[in-house]
């Protein structure tokens, strides 16, 4: 089997794609409220950018 096909079909890849979609939905939801956006979105993006999920 093609190595790229194995990667794309792996459960880890599927989980990563789902995580990105859910994170995007969370950020979009937070952006609907200016107060929440100011308070949380910047911090969330900084943590994701640095690879910290805790």
pLDDT digits (tens, 9 = 90+) for 1-50: 799 999 999 999 999 999 989 988 988 887 787 777 777 777 777 777 77
According to the model, what pLDDT value does residue 16 have?
A: 93
d(CA 12, CA 50): 20
Model pTM score: 0.65
d(CA 35, CA 40): 9
According to the model, what pLDDT value does residue 31 have?
A: 79
Is 7 within 8 Å of 13 (Cβ atoms)? yes
According to the model, what pLDDT value does residue 24 have?
A: 86
Helix/strand/coil (H/E/C) assignment for every residue in the chain: CCHHHHHHHCHHHHHHHHHHHHHHHHHHHHCCCHHHHHHHHHHHHHHHHHCCCC
According to the model, what pLDDT value does residue 52 have?
A: 61
According to the model, what pLDDT value does residue 14 have?
A: 95
């Amino acid at each position: 089997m093609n190595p790229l096909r194995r990667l794309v079909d792996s459960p880890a890849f599927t989980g990563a794609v789902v995580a990105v979609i859910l994170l995007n939905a969370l950020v979009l939801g937070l952006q609907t409220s200016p107060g929440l956006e100011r308070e949380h979105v910047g911090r969330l993006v900084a943590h994701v950018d640095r690879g910290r999920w805790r």
